[in-house]
Each structure stands twice: as C-alpha cells, then as structure tokens.
Chain A
Amino acid sequence: MFSKLVQPFFKHIDSFLISCLLFTMLVGLFVLYSASGQSFGRVSAQIINIAVALTAMWMVANIQPQLLERIAPPIYMMGVLLLISVALFGDISHGARRWLNLGFTKIQPSEIMRIAAPMMLAWFFAKREASPRIRDFFFAAILLVVPVVLIMKQPDLGTALLVTSSGFYILFLAGLSWKFLLGGAVTIGALTPIFWSLLHDYQRRRIEILIDPTQDPLGAGYHTIQATIALGSGGATGKGWLNGTQSQLDFLPERTTDFIFAVFGEEFGMIGNIILLILFSLIIIRGLIIAGQAQTTFSRLLAGSITLTFFTYTFVNIGMVSGILPVVGVPLPLISYGGTSMVSLFISFGILMSIQTHKKLVASG
C-alpha cells in the first residue's frame, strides 16, 4: 500500500545510482565531522546542501530528455551572457571575479556552464544529420572555447579545466577521428618546447611550481607536503576516525574543502581509500551503462560526458592531494564541503536518471 503510494514519486530515480551516491555522501559527512574539528554546525550545513541538491536532482530527473535537448541552446546562451556580465560587473572575492550579484542572491555562472557546455555540444552533434565532419568538430570546439576562456579569465582554473574536459569527452564520443586526436597530441608535443622557450623566467618558474609544488615549500608546496605526510602516516588501516594527528592539529590547510581527502586517507588508511575508489567506480560504471543504453545521440553523448566529468573531478582532486597532479582548486565530489558545486553535481546526476528512466517511454511511443 505504502510502496504503491510512493512509487510514482520515485519513478524517475535510478535506485542503484542513488544508493551509491547516498552511501558515499554518508561517508563524506563522517569525514567532514572529523575534518571540521567535530563541528555539528558544519555537518548540518552540509546536510542542508545535500537536501537542496537532492531536490534539484529529483526535479531534473522528472524532466524529459527531449525537453532538456530543446532548452540546451538557450541555457548555453544565457550561461555565456552571464559569464560576460561577471567579467564586466562581477563581485571580486579572494582576487577572483566569479560571482554575479542579482540583488536578491549571488550566482556563480561558471557552475551553470559545467552543465550547459556539454548540453550544448551534445545538442549540436545530435542536430547533424550526417556523420560529423572535421568542420563540425571545429565549430563545436569554438562553442567550447568561448565559455572556457571567460572562466579562465576570472580566474578559475579548476572549473575551466573541468568544462574543457566535459566538452572534450563529447567531441571524443561524437567520433572525433583518431588521426585528428593523434595529430593534436603530436602538435601539442612539438609546440610545447617552443612555447616554453618563449616564456619569461618567472613564468616558467610558476609553471614548474604548478607541476611540482615541492619546489616552493614556503608557498604552494606547503599544502602538498602536509597532505602527503597525512596520507602516508595513515598507513594500511588508518589512524581511525577522529584520530588523524595531522588533520586534528592545524597542519592541513583547506581540510574541509579541497584537501578533505587527506583527512580521509589519514584516518581510514589505504583500505579506506580503495573502498572510496570502488564507490566512485560503481557510480562511474552505472553512468557508463546509462550512456551505453541511451537511445538518442543527445542523451548518450550527454550521459557519457557527465559520467566522465565526474571521474575527472575525483581523479584530479585525489591526484592533487596525493601529490601526483598540480594543485588546482577542485573539490572532491560528494565529500568536500560546499553548496553550489554540490547542486550542480546533482543536477547532472538528475540528467543521468532522466535519460535512464524516460527511455522505455520513448521506445514504446
């Protein structure tokens, strides 16, 4: 009786995906409690973030993919316009111009772009009657470069990188030829030394520090050094929940946001890390399956891009914390504290669920 009542409500929710997400977030809340110095305030604020994000996900999941496809161009245009307004009248905080004050609320248009850019590209390729040609890819690349450049100028390297990768996944999945990919890789490889020789000493130094932060232990490298000590000292089984010395003492910076994985790794050790990787892998596999089963070009390209962008997030963040990737400001999805990124992440999961659960209707109709 009860299940019959609630079933229509959850009709468009993918049960496997939501289970993985909820479990991972539950783990995240425990880590956040520890990382925030056992602050219930932080945790309850994050619970509110999660509730808002789940609501957004539920609403998006109930939208038909066809409608998503139709609104892709206007959303993209709006996103670009908002990015331009940010560049012109945005609020500056922490030296970057990212927020747009609408009077009643502040929005961060680069977050909109994280979904709008792949939607636009998927729409673009779905519109091509024939197999896409090189010039289509060229045009698609321009659609991608415009918002990326605007985001980079803010400057927000992390988001720019992720929007780029989400667009690149679409290009790749739409069938960008291997020759072109190889050619591109070779060209970049060949141009790098030339580009390098054109740089000033101080510019080279900056890039060197970005790649290898330990060269600047007084500045950028401090984060990485402390994070690797936290991770390494966690060992195989970890120091136990709330017992991470590096995290509890004030050694780890930004430990509730970008560097929260160091806290997790210190307290739960290598076993915990592997379990978390498995959880992320399950989410990714489910996403890839949804993409593989999707019925329209638009929905399969978008589902593939959303899933792989989620992967990119996790890889870039964990790679950065464990010292194998440069430090760019990217949070760990589902775990890091933060509202805006949580909402846009769950909107993308909502899209995945919409694609998966509206499928049969399309087939029968």
Chain B
Amino acid sequence: MAYGNELKNHQNELHHFRLRLTVLGFLVLIAFSILASRFYFLQINRYDYYQTLAENNRISIVPIAPNRGLITDRNGIVLAHNFFVYTLEITPSKIANLESTIAELSQLVEINKSDLKRFKKLKAQSNSFESVPIRTHLNEVEAAKFAANRYRFPGVEIKSRLFRHYPQGKMGAHMIGYIGRINDKDLTKLAEKDVLSNYKGSDHIGKSGIEQSYESELHGTTGFQQVEIDADGKAVRVLSSKAPVSGNNLVLSADIKLQEIAETAFGDHRGALVAIKPSTGEVLAFASMPTFDPNLFVDGIDTENWKLLNESLDKPLINRPLRGIYPPGSTFKPFAALAGLEAGKREPPFSINDAGYFMLPNSRHRYRDWKPGGHGNVDMRRAITISCDTFFYGLAMELGIEKLTDFVRFFGFGEKSGIDIAGEVGGLLPTPKWKQRRFKQPWYKGETVIVGIGQGYTLATPMQLAQATAILANKGVAMRPHLVSSITNSKTGVNKVNKPFINNTIILKDKNLEIVKLGMIDVTLPGGTAAAVGANAGYSIAAKTGTAQVIGIKQNEKYNEKLINERHRDHALFIAYAPAENPTIAVAVIVENGSHGGSTAGPIARKVMDYYLLGKLPVVEPPKDAKITPSITGNAITTLIQPIENALEEKLHD
C-alpha cells in the first residue's frame, strides 16, 4: 500500500517542479531589481558626487600610523616607549627644484650624507604628495632657526614624529629586542600573514626579542584619511577619517633591577644568566653578556657601529641564553642522578669506593675523576655534593644511553623550552639514532659513560639549564617559561594576564627528589663544590657547579689553567634554586672561560638570589677562590662551545 503511494506521480512531480522553477524565476527578478536600483543609486542619485571625485579629483587614502605599545618591567619601569622628535620634512610634489631647496636648507640646519641617502631611499618608496623626512632629531635651536625662515621654503615643514626609545639602554637588550626599518623580507612576511595593509603607514617593525615576538600586539591598528587630491597631487580636503588604535602595552615578568644586578655581576665576563620563578615559569632575569644598545638600531644602524658590534670577538649580538649552546658539564649530574634513582638504581645505602677512575670491561681506557686518587666511599647524595665523576660514569653505563636520555628529556634537554621570544635553539641530547643519522657511525659505550657527567655531544642553552632547574625545583611540574606576564589592551584598558601554563608533569618519587635536593644543598655548605656561594646566605641554596671544556685534554696530560689562553679556558656553569625548601627562584649561570662554576658563576647567582629573596643589594668585594675545584675529565672529546653564528646576524644587519 505504502509502495503505491510512494511511486512517483509524474504529472504531480512536473507540476511541483514548475512551481519551484517559477519561485526561482521570481528570485532572479528580485535580485536583478536590486542591482538595477543600486545602479540608480550610484549612477543617478549620487552621480554628481562620484562625477566630481572621478573627473576633477582623485581619491587618495593616507594612512595614519598607530602608536606602538609600551613595554614595562614587572614593577612598571619603562623599558620601551615612544617620544616625539622634531623632523624636517619635504613634500616633493610641492617643490619645484628639489636640489636647490635642499642646498638652501643645509645652510640653515646640518644635513649630512647619510641624511641625504635616507631621504632618497624614502622618497622612492612614497607618494609624491607624502612628506618625507630629510633630517630627524632636530634640536630646539635648529627648529627655531627653520621656523624663522619658513616662508622661504614652501613644501618644507617641521613635523613631530614618534620614535622608539629604550630608556634602559644596554640593559636587557636581548630580552626586549628592538625595532628597525621594514625591509623586503618583512614585507613578504606581512603579506603572507595578510596584514600588509595595516603597515601602510608604518616605517618600523619588531626585529628581535619581545619587540619581534609580540609585534602583532605592539603594533596597533593603522588609521586612515580618505583625502581628495587635485591634479597636482595635493590634498584638497579630508573626506573621511578613522583614528588609529595604539598598540597594546606589555608588562614583563622580568625585574629590571634584578637584571641590572645580574648584568653588573658579570663584570667583564662573557656569559648568560636566566632566572625563572619555578611555580609559574615567569622569567625574572634574562642576561646575555656582553650586551648592546638597542637604540642604535631604531633608525638603521650606521656602518661603524655595526662593524664594531658584528666583528667583535665577544659577539655581543648573539642571544646567549637562547642561542648559546654549551656542554652542561656537571650541572647535568642532578638530572642523571634522578634518572638513576627513578629507575631503582643507586638507591641508598648503595655506595662505591672511588679510586679516581672508571674503566669499561675489556678496556684499558681510564675515565678519570676530576680528583686524582678519587673520593673514597661515595653514595648518591655525596656524589652530587662533591661532583664525583666516577660515580656517574658507572651510573650512566648501567642505565644505558636510551634510558638516560629518555628521562632527562622530560627536563627539557634537547628540546626548545617554548619561551615567548623567537630564535631559541634546541640544544642536543645525543642518542645512538642521532649519531647514526648525523655521522653514519655506531654508538660507542664510552660515549654513554661521559654523557653521565654532561660531556660528550650533550649541549644545552642557558635557557634550557634554567628551565631544567626550575622543573626540578617545582618537583617535576614543567611550567612554560614566559617573559610577558600581561597585555593591556590600549583601547579597552582590559588587562589580559598571561596565565601560567603547565607544559607537562613528570611523576617523581618524593624520596628521590629529597636525596637530590639534600645533595645539592650540601654543595653550598662547607665541603661542597660551592661552599663559598652559600656562606652567610640566610636561606638555603640547592645548587650544582659545572665546568665545560673548551679544548680537549689528552690522556695523561694535565690541565694547567695559567698556561692556557684566556679564550681556551673552561666555561664555568652554575645552577641553583632557593630557598631549597620552598623555591621561588631558579637560576642558571654560564660564564664563558670562567674556569670554575663555584668561583665565577656561583657568586653571580648568589647576588641575584640575594636581591630577589632578601632585597639585598650586592656589596662590592673581590671573589674568593673556592677550595674544591670541580670536574675536569680526561676523555678527549673536543666540543668547541662557540655560540653558533648563523642567520641571526644577517637578519640583524638591516
């Protein structure tokens, strides 16, 4: 029955079809009527308006650049702002003879060759009715001089333009970054992101650091004026306009006073320091030494200064915390220790009797401890405290390379930390697979042995070391490190907080964490490798010293610091968190060619922690040498630790 009803009734179907076709026919009629009435509106009603625009005048859209957002530190101290400067500007279309005008102008105010060069470059890029600066940073006297002679120069005017300024100068330059003139590469990138039209009025763009990574927040929205221009290209009147919207303001988690203490503590040393609040991932200080003045870059750096910065052996332009890669040396030991303990190995009361070297079965090669003759009876806690190499050689061997690297990878070794500024490199955590791929060679057991003490192929950035320390201090909870703590919307005033974000969590046994912590606390107590660092602190410090070889030392050869060129001395490393019971700061310090972690890197970390925890300003005193010197290993794997030089420098040269 149902079947019969459902069969098509062809007559009925055709009827329905034609009905629907008619409905659509009406739709066509309505749509075309809409178009016709639009024609009537444009071509009859508004004819005069459009006729005037088309025939006598042309429309030009003049962009108005927005104010770039401010950057302040966590206490509101300004790190980057804008200020007005007087500029002398020429509108080429209003000038009969450009050459002679410029010649006359140069008798009033100084116009040098680079000013002229810039003027020509800018003029080629803009419309003839747009004014182009011929001189920037006019002082009061120059401005007054020109104002008095203004009548002689139609088409030349004084304008005030916004310039970016970094009031802290060299301080925190690698973190804050800088802006520079937009170049072709930037334009391509902007076009890819589909935001090119928002940069029509802008000359500058963030080139590094926060300025680069938060460009989309800082830039703001370009406003515009729709102006009528006459046949000569002069603006006749403004038809409509829309005000620009300033960029958003950024508040950093960094404390610029802490930054100052850190940078000052380095003195003439090269190196890097990163301090992180373990519970949130906020970066408190981010030092890369030596540093540079970002103000030089704002309006295009001149050749002399560029040469000075770029060709300096100290490599001030390298962002060491993110791009400097160093063997972690003995600072790797606490993490290797945890790897062992969590795998159920070397748990107390296990101990070894250290004779001063380790040998693989069926091999006569001696992996030496840094202390000739050895440390005697050593358990896990003491192995960390005295930085016993022999203990960790054996541990690494027993764990195997895969197990060891798989575990420490949780602490961020071999991977980017994910900090919110660009350019980070991932360091290196070697595995047999990696070696096969990289060198087409098999993995040797001896290579596992030295990974246990952070040597060999292992490489880490200061950022990674600080992050690993912070994860350790936070009992295995890895917070994503970040420099920007909040963003204030310039239009609505709404403050968007960059909430702490858990990257991942490692489940660790409390008793194992306790062993490592106690071992690290002992490092800063009498008998530890950095006893001087902990002296009279007033709070407990869990720390580890480290040394990274710059040149290899052959078997049976002795390392003699005094005989070695300063640049070939070992790098000094130091990681710490404090107060050890309830850590609020984790620090990693690297002093290039600083020799001993305890004596050169440690005091820098101490000063930073003193200020952060106690508000104590550093007292100027000569550093004392620690009694115990940390590990120098005998194996001759040469890893030169020059910070990698790469495309970054090319990018800087604008």
Residues of A within 8 A of B (CB): 129-131, 169, 172-173, 175, 206, 216-220, 222, 225-226, 228-236, 245-246, 251, 265, 269-270, 273-274, 277, 280-281, 284-285, 288, 291-292, 297, 300, 304, 308, 311, 315, 318-319, 322-324
At the interface, yes or no: B624 with Cβ under 8 Å from chain A? no
B16-31 interface (Cβ within 8 A of A): 16-18, 20-21, 24-25, 28, 31
* Option from A173, A236, A277 in Cβ contact (under 8 Å) with B47: A236
Question: Is the beta-carbon distance between B20 and A173 smaller than 8 angstroms?
Answer: yes
Question: Is the beta-carbon distance between B20 and A172 smaller than 8 angstroms?
Answer: yes
CB-CB under 8 A from A226, the residues of chain B are 59
Question: Is the beta-carbon distance between B32 and A217 smaller than 8 angstroms?
Answer: no
CB-CB under 8 A from A216, the residues of chain B are 197
Question: Is the beta-carbon distance between B35 and A233 smaller than 8 angstroms?
Answer: no
Known: A129-B6, A130-B7, A233-B51. 9 other contacts (CB 8 A): A175-B20, A217-B226, A219-B198, A222-B61, A229-B59, A236-B43, A245-B55, A280-B32, A288-B24
Residues of B within 8 A of A (CB): 6-8, 13, 16-18, 20-21, 24-25, 28, 31-32, 34-36, 38-40, 42-44, 46-47, 49-51, 53-55, 58-59, 61, 63, 194, 196-198, 200, 222, 224, 226
In angstroms, Cα B15 to Cα A131, docked, is 14
In angstroms, Cα B197 to Cα A291, docked, is 47
Question: Is the beta-carbon distance between A235 and B21 smaller than 8 angstroms?
Answer: no
Q: How far is the CB of B12 from chain A (nearest CB, A)?
A: 9
CB-CB under 8 A from A245, the residues of chain B are 54-55
Question: Is the beta-carbon distance between B21 and A292 smaller than 8 angstroms?
Answer: yes
Question: Is the beta-carbon distance between A288 and B200 smaller than 8 angstroms?
Answer: no
* Option from A129, A304, A324 in Cβ contact (under 8 Å) with B21: A304
Question: Is the beta-carbon distance between B54 and A319 smaller than 8 angstroms?
Answer: no
In angstroms, Cα B7 to Cα A131, docked, is 7
Question: Is the beta-carbon distance between A324 and B38 smaller than 8 angstroms?
Answer: yes
Interface residues of A, dominant DSSP:
helix
A300 with B17: in contact, given A217-B226, A218-B61 (CB under 8 Å)?
A: yes
Question: Is the beta-carbon distance between A235 and B35 smaller than 8 angstroms?
Answer: no
In angstroms, Cα B20 to Cα A220, docked, is 37
Question: Is the beta-carbon distance between B44 and A304 smaller than 8 angstroms?
Answer: no
CB-CB under 8 A from B20, the residues of chain A are 172-173, 175
* Option from A219, A229, A288, A308 in Cβ contact (under 8 Å) with B50: A229
In angstroms, Cα B47 to Cα A270, docked, is 11
CB-CB under 8 A from A304, the residues of chain B are 17, 21, 24
In angstroms, Cα B63 to Cα A218, docked, is 8
In angstroms, Cα B422 to Cα A286, docked, is 62
A265 with B61: in contact, given A229-B53, A232-B46, A232-B49 (CB under 8 Å)?
A: no
Question: Is the beta-carbon distance between B8 and A131 smaller than 8 angstroms?
Answer: yes
Question: Is the beta-carbon distance between A322 and B224 smaller than 8 angstroms?
Answer: no
Question: Is the beta-carbon distance between B8 and A130 smaller than 8 angstroms?
Answer: yes
In angstroms, Cα B20 to Cα A169, docked, is 10
Question: Is the beta-carbon distance between A322 and B35 smaller than 8 angstroms?
Answer: yes
In angstroms, Cα B17 to Cα A323, docked, is 34
Residue contacts A-B, CB under 8 angstroms, 30 given: A172-B24, A173-B24, A217-B224, A218-B63, A218-B222, A220-B197, A229-B53, A229-B59, A232-B49, A233-B53, A233-B54, A235-B43, A235-B44, A236-B43, A236-B47, A245-B55, A265-B39, A273-B35, A277-B36, A292-B21, A304-B17, A304-B21, A304-B24, A311-B31, A319-B35, A322-B35, A322-B38, A323-B38, A324-B35, A324-B38
In angstroms, Cα B234 to Cα A315, docked, is 38
In angstroms, Cα B35 to Cα A363, docked, is 40
Question: Is the beta-carbon distance between A281 and B28 smaller than 8 angstroms?
Answer: yes
CB-CB under 8 A from A229, the residues of chain B are 50, 53-54, 59
Question: Is the beta-carbon distance between A274 and B36 smaller than 8 angstroms?
Answer: yes
CB-CB under 8 A from A265, the residues of chain B are 39, 43
CB-CB under 8 A from A173, the residues of chain B are 17, 20-21, 24
Question: Is the beta-carbon distance between B51 and A235 smaller than 8 angstroms?
Answer: yes
Question: Is the beta-carbon distance between B47 and A235 smaller than 8 angstroms?
Answer: yes
In angstroms, Cα B55 to Cα A233, docked, is 8
Going nearest first, the 6 A-B pairs with the smallest beta carbon separation are A232-B50, A219-B197, A233-B54, A130-B6, A218-B197, A270-B43
In angstroms, Cα B48 to Cα A236, docked, is 11
Question: Is the beta-carbon distance between B24 and A228 smaller than 8 angstroms?
Answer: no
In angstroms, Cα B59 to Cα A251, docked, is 10
Question: Is the beta-carbon distance between A288 and B21 smaller than 8 angstroms?
Answer: yes
A277 with B21: in contact, given A233-B51, A265-B39, A270-B43 (CB under 8 Å)?
A: no
Q: How far is the CB of A202 from chain B (nearest CB, A)?
A: 8
In angstroms, Cα B33 to Cα A319, docked, is 11
Question: Is the beta-carbon distance between A218 and B8 smaller than 8 angstroms?
Answer: no
In angstroms, Cα B194 to Cα A315, docked, is 28
Q: How far is the CB of A206 from chain B (nearest CB, A)?
A: 8
Question: Is the beta-carbon distance between B34 and A129 smaller than 8 angstroms?
Answer: no
Among B32, B47, B51, B58, find the residue whose CB has the most chain A CB atoms closer than 10 A. Answer: B32
Q: How far is the CB of B571 from chain A (nearest CB, A)?
A: 44
Q: How far is the CB of B556 from chain A (nearest CB, A)?
A: 61
CB-CB under 8 A from B200, the residues of chain A are 218
In angstroms, Cα B44 to Cα A129, docked, is 54
CB-CB under 8 A from B35, the residues of chain A are 273, 277, 315, 318-319, 322, 324
CB-CB under 8 A from B6, the residues of chain A are 129-131
Among B13, B17, B63, B224, find the residue whose CB has the most chain A CB atoms closer than 10 A. Answer: B17
Q: How far is the CB of A261 from chain B (nearest CB, A)?
A: 10
CB-CB under 8 A from A300, the residues of chain B are 17
A234 with B224: in contact, given A281-B32, A304-B24 (CB under 8 Å)?
A: no
In angstroms, Cα B16 to Cα A304, docked, is 13
In angstroms, Cα B50 to Cα A270, docked, is 14
CB-CB under 8 A from B13, the residues of chain A are 131, 175, 297
Q: How far is the CB of B634 from chain A (nearest CB, A)?
A: 55
Q: Smallest CB-CB separation from A218: which chain B residue?
A: B197
Q: Smallest CB-CB separation from B3: which chain A residue?
A: A130
In angstroms, Cα B54 to Cα A251, docked, is 10
In angstroms, Cα B53 to Cα A232, docked, is 10
Question: Is the beta-carbon distance between A270 and B40 smaller than 8 angstroms?
Answer: yes
CB-CB under 8 A from B224, the residues of chain A are 217-218
CB-CB under 8 A from B44, the residues of chain A are 235-236, 270
Q: Smallest CB-CB separation from A133: which chain B residue?
A: B6
Question: Is the beta-carbon distance between B25 and A315 smaller than 8 angstroms?
Answer: no
Q: Smallest CB-CB separation from A270: which chain B residue?
A: B43
Question: Is the beta-carbon distance between A232 and B47 smaller than 8 angstroms?
Answer: yes
Q: How far is the CB of A50 from chain B (nearest CB, A)?
A: 25
Question: Is the beta-carbon distance between A315 and B16 smaller than 8 angstroms?
Answer: no
Q: Smallest CB-CB separation from A230: which chain B residue?
A: B54
Q: Smallest CB-CB separation from A295: which chain B residue?
A: B14
In angstroms, Cα B194 to Cα A219, docked, is 9
CB-CB under 8 A from A232, the residues of chain B are 42-43, 46-47, 49-51, 53-54
Question: Is the beta-carbon distance between B24 and A233 smaller than 8 angstroms?
Answer: no
In angstroms, Cα B40 to Cα A109, docked, is 39
CB-CB under 8 A from B24, the residues of chain A are 169, 172-173, 288, 304, 308
Among B43, B47, B194, B224, find the residue whose CB has the most chain A CB atoms closer than 10 A. Answer: B43
In angstroms, Cα B19 to Cα A175, docked, is 10
In angstroms, Cα B194 to Cα A206, docked, is 10
In angstroms, Cα B51 to Cα A217, docked, is 20
Q: How far is the CB of B16 from chain A (nearest CB, A)?
A: 6
Q: Smallest CB-CB separation from B47: which chain A residue?
A: A235
CB-CB under 8 A from B40, the residues of chain A are 270
Question: Is the beta-carbon distance between B43 and A175 smaller than 8 angstroms?
Answer: no
Q: How far is the CB of B29 from chain A (nearest CB, A)?
A: 8
In angstroms, Cα B53 to Cα A226, docked, is 10
Q: Smallest CB-CB separation from B38: which chain A residue?
A: A322
CB-CB under 8 A from A270, the residues of chain B are 39-40, 43-44
Q: Smallest CB-CB separation from B24: which chain A residue?
A: A308
Q: How far is the CB of B349 from chain A (nearest CB, A)?
A: 58
Q: Smallest CB-CB separation from B20: which chain A residue?
A: A173
CB-CB under 8 A from A233, the residues of chain B are 47, 50-51, 53-55
* Option from A129, A219, A273 in Cβ contact (under 8 Å) with B39: A273
Q: How far is the CB of A227 from chain B (nearest CB, A)?
A: 10
Q: Smallest CB-CB separation from A176: which chain B residue?
A: B20
Q: Smallest CB-CB separation from B194: which chain A residue?
A: A206
